Amino acid sequence: MNPTLTTPGIRAVVFDFGGVLFDWSPLHVYQQLIADDEERRRFLRDVCSPLWNVQQDAGRTLAEGTELLVAEHPQHASLIRAFYDRWTEMLRGPLDDGVTLLKDLHASRMPLFGLTNWSAETFPYARDNYDFLDVFQDIVVSGDEKCIKPDPRIYEIALARYGAHLPDLKPDELVFIDDLKINVDAAQALGWHGILHVDAAHTRAELNALGIVV
């Protein structure tokens, strides 16, 4: 059965990638490298932390980020270098239910766009290896733009980019799906519709509630 769109006011759906379409986690590597659970937790909290990683997503080069951290924690040099040396192992693959939802939306002829916090140096690997990304009309990558969600600037950049495909596009004509509440809240503050992604079934229900039957 081909799903149909029932709300003309919504013109496009915007997807975050990690946690929605991709299973990415440093644990996929560091469970192999650090046997002790507490030691591994401390390392990923205090050394190769989310705050450190997001600076690469914001445009800092992988080499610079790595060397700065090695200088700060020389005793962990080999573990730090493993983060980007083995980064492709952290990207375990697609989250099938999320990708199925994406493909169902594409089959319904809903315009689709991406908005992801992702390093400009590592994103090409995903682009080259996961052809479901081809359904997106445009993808805004934080590392290319040198700013990250939830900074309002990246949503403004995204709206302008998407508007090149959908003329006169307005914020309230977009639905944004992200697994982090802070990012959804930022989109909503700018007038976008937002869905906090818990799982694909929940997101489908939220889309249905907005009138997008998929």
Is residue 107 scored above 80 in pLDDT? yes
pLDDT of residue 5: 41
Per the prediction, the chain carries an average pLDDT of 95
pLDDT digits (tens, 9 = 90+) for 29-73: 999 999 999 999 999 999 999 999 999 999 999 999 999 999 999
The residues, ordered by sequence, that sit 6+ positions from 189 with a Cβ below 8 Å of its Cβ are: 152
User: In the block, which residue shows the tokens 């009138």?
Assistant: 211
pLDDT digits (tens, 9 = 90+) for 195-209: 999 999 999 999 999
The pLDDT-based confidence of 213 (bands split at 50, 70, 90) is confident
pTM: 0.92
Q: Which of 147, 60, 174, 11 is nearest to 184 (CA)?
A: 174
| Percent with pLDDT over 70 in the chain | 96
Please report, for the chain, how many H helices and E strands are present, in that order: 12, 7
pLDDT digits (tens, 9 = 90+) for 63-78: 999 999 999 999 999 9
Is residue 6 scored above 50 in pLDDT? no
